[in-house]
Amino acid sequence: MSGLWFEEFEQGQTFEHNLSRTITEADNMWFCNATMNTQPLHIDFHMASNTEFGQPLVNSIFTLGLMIGMSVTDTTLGTTIGNLAMTDVNFPNPVFHGDTLHVRTTVRSKRESKSRPNDGIVVFYHEAFKQDDAMVANCVRTALMRKKPV
């Protein structure tokens, strides 16, 4: 386990996650197939070539999941009970096959759980950037976190 306990998080704490990930055509096609997303912008190269982007877009929900996933090892691996919310999700720039993403997480706030005295709530702000440092995604995630065992 490498995640942090509720008590170890501090408001304003920032994590520049060491992981980076290049997104492949296979990633995008598999994700679209697995989620039954038949949007031609993601899976039809000919159609996508006639758009303003000139190529398929990586599915934004894949980008969101990758952004959150890349943060887990440093923040919540083995110490989270579950996600309570993901809000304010934005995709300010497109992601294409071959783009390499890296992620930053900032702790926005934390508080004791009112209904679960052994747990706390942490609000994270996640940001994903591609190789040229253009932001491609961000969101606010609220997680129910375990407190350090006594």
In this prediction, residues 24-31 reach a mean pLDDT of 97
Both tokens of 17, joined, read 């996650």
| pLDDT of 86 | 97
Q: Is the pLDDT of residue 2 over 90?
A: no
Q: What is the mean pLDDT of residues 20-37?
A: 97
Q: Return the DSSP state at 74.
A: H
pLDDT over 90 at 1, yes or no: no
Portion of the chain with pLDDT greater than 90, in percent: 97
> pLDDT of 104-142, one tens digit each?
999 999 999 999 999 999 999 999 999 999 999 999 999
- Angle at CA of residue 101, ends 95 and 36, nearest 5°: 50
131 three-class SS = coil
Q: What angle do CA 6, 107, 62 make, to 5 degrees?
A: 105
pLDDT of amino acid 132? 98
pLDDT tens, residue by residue, 43-68:
999 999 999 999 999 999 999 999 99
Q: Is the CATH code 3.10.129.10 the one for domain 6-146?
A: yes
Distance CA 76, CA 5 (A): 8
- pLDDT, mean of residues 64-79: 97
pLDDT at 33 over 90: yes
Q: Could you tell me the sign of the dihedral formed by the alpha carbons of 20, 69, 30, 52, in that order?
A: negative
Tell me the pLDDT of the chain averaged across its residues. Answer: 97
Burial status of residue 79 (CB atoms within 10 A of its CB: 0-12, 13-18, 19 or more): buried
- Contact assessment for residue 147 and residue 119, using Cβ atoms and an 8 Å cutoff: yes
At a CB cut-off of 8 Å and minimum separation 6, what does 123 contact?
A: 107, 108, 109, 110, 140, 141, 142, 143
102 with 128: CB under 8 angstroms? yes
pTM of the model: 0.95
